[in-house]
Amino acid sequence: MARRRCICLLLVLASGCKTIPEDAYGIDRIRFNGMEELDAQALRACLASQERDRVTFAFGTSADPACGVPPFDGNRVSFDLWKKLRKGWPTLDSAVFDRDVQRIERWYQARGYYDAAVVSTAFDPPSAAGDDRIVVPPGGQAPCEREGANEGCKLSIEIDIEEGEPVLVKSIEVSGHESSGSESQTNFESAVELEVGKPFDESIYERSKRAMRRQLREASYACGTVSGRVDIDRETREASVALFVETGPACTFGDITVTGNATLPADTILDVADLKTGDVFRLSEVADAQRAVYALGALASVDVSSTPRRDGEEQCTGVVDVNIAVEPGRSIRWGIGAGVQSGTIATLTLEQDTRISDVHLFGLFEHRNFIGGFRRLRIEDRPKIVARDPFFRFGQGFIFGNEVRVEYRRPAFLEPRTTSRIQLRHDWGPDPYELFRRHDFQVRGSLSRPFFDGRLLLVGALNYDLYRVVDEDPRYPTSYQVVFFDQSLIVDLRDDSRSPRAGFFFQVGSQQSPAKLRRSWQYVRVTPEVRGFAPLPLSSTLAFRFGMGAMFIFSRDRNRLDLIGQQLGPQSYRLRSGGPTTHRGFFGGFLGDPGSISSLNREGVDARNDGGLRRWEAGIEWRLPVTQSFATALFMDFGDVNRGEVWRFNYIRAAAGFGFRYQTPVGPIRLDFGFLIPKWQVVGGQPPPNAFNIFRFIRGGVPGAFHFTIGEAY
């Protein structure tokens, strides 16, 4: 049976292999000799003659560079693994190859290497140099070894290049912008990417002019132009660059119109766009308007275009008209499906790491223009089967559950950019930290407002949470209710929110429960966090984070709450850590001291951690792309959670590990393995016992955890 399956697999693979046409040369390899300063893959992207596709691990610049798009340097380390079986063979065309030789020299000139030349080309087999078709004389044999019956021959090409010395930028002069403000002058000059003493590159020169034009439009000069002149002395290999700016008049917004909206309210679109006739024109405000209008949700496409008015002599009048062209999408959407959730749980207020994993069905209904005004109503139901342990082993037992969410969202509430939400959530099933069954009913009303092109986000909300325990057991928390305000401030200066390479991120969240209710607390919860990202060579990224948390409890219902709840606060809002987005040396929620109930202080499915009042976390990660879709990472995580009223910075609980990422449109699919470092747990003391071990085949296991989820850790 096994042999039969193997034969079937080989037949499938063989059927996917493409063959070389009988009279053609299939290009297997094109090698460039003499390329030392520039990237062969960047050159290859501009050629019509291509070699056979291969699966490649490339450390450095983009795995699939585009023609004429920087970077062009040779900082690439790549390894070819195997050929793509289902890809066809590219064949040799002599006329196309001759033009490619000219393209190589022109490509080098565009990079500033004006003396570069192709000195020779070599073909293997040599017969391909005389004719790009395989010519077989009557009664004779082919001049090359065929790949198979009725197939052509495999061809390798070597191209020898002499790069020569590059032309270096001697000077850069920017003129014509003196009448603009000092800040605008600085922005114009900083948009120039060419550097004195570095090779002159035509692509970077043109990109600099485009960037300067964008700066002109950002500074209100919508009719401004940028031109340039480059004087090249090939004897001294020096380039003098002059850039000329014509600002034109400062511009203001003119007519703001909406087209294509059909029955959707244009007034709401105009309110959310927040562009006012007579205001100073800024390119960033146009882009911000496009993002805000598209975020309404009921539109399939949005295109905000700006057109400067001109008089009868085609002179700029200083007024810019804006048209918001939209295409309505489907108002009503519904769907059913199935999914898996592992490692994290999101309530209406928090997103936290957890031990549980589940398999679920889901059904949703969404109306994106509910009772008009782009109001959105969304209803989602998710029946689920929850595994009792983080290894996703349903053989250890499972629990049924169900989660229902309802959300009503209204844009342009009170003012154009403020969004109001009313949300309800009912989760029946296992508690995500201790697995007893409970009802968790939440109601939340919130207001949110972005500022500065979405870089700053402010959120404020009022919440009510009713938590009813179903499984009656003195070991479990008691039921409770809590009313609290929460606010969050987010500053996002990252270049990409899903896979950042550079930038800064800061957020602080706060909760205040002022009401003195039965089965409740009065408390304040504060959780600041900072993250940073720095690009490194080989297209890699160094990421770091540091966060803290504090829970201050001022009063509690001592007659109706359990002892642990009195000390640590509401079960759903205690400070916890450990998991795929916090400390990867622990499974979700297990960083810190073990649970207080001795009967539950066991390894595996019955392990327990109650959380704490103080938390600190730190992490550093090196992310290295291997292909365009695949990346690896090395990381170290530190932190502690404790029940005291001071932070225990001597509890470093260090973990080191590695992981893999596969990019998808919704973020990277991530698999991480974290291992606790034995002597780096508690400075001057012994660490608490660990609840889980992984890799049990290694002397009973290694203290640590693994995590499979979507999205970067931070």
The CATH number of whichever domain residue 173 belongs to comes to 3.10.20.310
Instruction: Give the structural domain span for 301.
Output: 252-328
Query: How distant, in Å, are the alpha carbons of 373, 410, 544, 655, 674 from that of 638?
Result: 48, 41, 11, 7, 11
Q: How many CA atoms lie within 13 A of 219 on its CB side?
A: 25
Same domain, 237 and 356: no
Same domain, 202 and 266: no
- Does residue 304 sit within a domain? yes
> Residue 129: phi, psi to the nearest 5?
-70, -30
Q: In this structure, are residues 262 and 326 in contact, taking their beta carbons and an 8 Å threshold?
A: no
Same domain, 242 and 262: no
Which tens digits make up the pLDDT trace of 625-644?
887 778 899 999 999 999 99
Give the C-alpha separation, 464 to 425, whole Å: 11
Residue 353, domain CATH: 2.40.160.50
Give the C-alpha separation, 32 to 359, whole Å: 52
Same domain, 119 and 185: no
Same domain, 500 and 589: yes
- pLDDT, residue 599, reads 33
Q: Which of 216, 246, 276 is the last residue of a domain?
A: 246
- Does residue 141 sit within a domain? no
358-367, 457-466, 682-691, 703-712: lowest mean pLDDT where? 682-691
Same domain, 372 and 519: yes
With b meaning 16 or more CB within 10 Å and e meaning fewer, what string describes 683-701?
eeeeebebbbbbeeeeeee
pLDDT band at 335 (very low <50, low <70, confident <90, very high): very high
Which tens digits make up the pLDDT trace of 117-142?
999 999 999 999 888 898 888 878 88
Exposed / middle / buried, residue 622 (Cβ in 10 Å: 0-12, 13-18, 19+) = middle
Which tens digits make up the pLDDT trace of 33-65?
998 888 888 898 899 999 887 665 555 555 567
Which tens digits make up the pLDDT trace of 336-355?
998 888 778 889 998 888 87
- pLDDT, residue 499, reads 81
Q: Which of 206, 230, 246 is the last residue of a domain?
A: 246
Same domain, 614 and 602: yes
Highest mean pLDDT among 17-31, 521-535, 693-707: 521-535
Query: How distant, in Å, are the alpha carbons of 210, 377, 594, 677, 678 from that of 702?
Result: 55, 48, 18, 10, 10
Give the C-alpha separation, 3 to 1, whole Å: 5
Beta partners for 226?
Answer: 245
Same domain, 443 and 534: yes
Q: Which two tokens stand for residue 631?
A: 């990346």
Percent of the chain's residues with pLDDT above 70: 89
Which tens digits make up the pLDDT trace of 663-703?
887 778 899 999 999 889 999 888 777 656 666 556 666 78
Q: Rounded to the nearest 5 degrees, what angle is found at the Cα of 526, between the Cα atoms of 521 and 528?
A: 165
Q: In this structure, are residues 192 and 212 in contact, taking their beta carbons and an 8 Å threshold?
A: yes
Does the structure show a pLDDT above 70 at 384? yes
Beta-carbon contacts of 706 under 8 Å, excluding residues fewer than 6 positions away, are 671, 672, 673, 674, 694
Q: How many domains does the chain have?
A: 4
Same domain, 623 and 701: yes
- Residue identified by tokens 């994106």 is 368
Give the C-alpha separation, 242 to 171, whole Å: 8
- Does residue 377 sit within a domain? yes
Q: Rounded to the nearest 5 degrees, what angle is found at the Cα of 572, between the Cα atoms of 569 and 577?
A: 90
- Does residue 36 sit within a domain? yes
Same domain, 322 and 343: no
Give the C-alpha separation, 261 to 267, whole Å: 11
- Does residue 549 sit within a domain? yes
- Does residue 9 sit within a domain? yes
From the list 583, 572, 468, the residue with the least C-alpha distance to 523 is 572
Same domain, 270 and 337: no
- pLDDT, residue 392, reads 59
Same domain, 519 and 467: yes
End-to-end CA distance of the chain: 47
| Predicted structure pTM score | 0.78
From the list 547, 667, 644, 635, the residue with the least C-alpha distance to 592 is 644
Give the C-alpha separation, 448 to 547, whole Å: 23
Q: Which of 226, 246, 266 is the last residue of a domain?
A: 246
